Amino acid sequence: MGLPEDAAALLEKIKQQPSFLMVGTIEPRKAQAQALAAFEHLWREGETVQLVLVGKEGWLMKDFCQKVRAHPEFGHRLLWLDGISDEFLEQVYAASSCLLAASEAEGFGLPLIEAAQHRLPIMARDIGVFREVAGAHASYFSGLQPENLARAIDAWLALYRAGGAPSSSSMPWLTWQQSTRRLLDIVLKA
């Protein structure tokens, strides 16, 4: 798949201002709709931040995806990278300011691990699996309303600008091979 023709320009755009990256299929439980509404609130308040969505359109999200494509900020402070290569995703992680993991339900939370591999700060919904994966190496938010998330982003930005946002750089994580070995050890000992 490789890099898109405009890869360098996109990466430069992402680096220009604080960019919150959401990675995963666009679907209801991932809460991209809440995130977009929170960012709309922040933009109205004059905050210079970007929302970068990476993922394919999922079930029940046709209207939301149409809204994103028609949004006045689309291509400016709202980016949607649909179907990008793993190689380009690595570069997007490196260019972003923060991973936003807003899922209301999650099986594991692989983007948190990927963010830690890039030493990217993490802001995650306060759910058990994210606490288990990231522990003290992330900022957490609660609430299902856009205002809840907008306030949390404002607070995170204040910490980030002061150099105090939690760092994911020392977050422990396992490779797939290490995870498989641990699972096999557990299963074979049972």
pLDDT digits (tens, 9 = 90+) for 4-54: 889 999 999 999 999 999 999 999 999 999 999 999 999 999 999 999 999
Segments forming the whole domain that contains residue 128: 7-189
Backbone angles phi, psi at 108, to 5 degrees: -140, -55
Residues paired with 182 in a beta bridge = none
Residue 2 counted as domain residue: no
Domain count, the chain: 1
Residue 1 counted as domain residue: no
Residue 162's CATH number:
3.40.50.2000
Average pLDDT over residues 146-166: 96
pTM of the model: 0.91
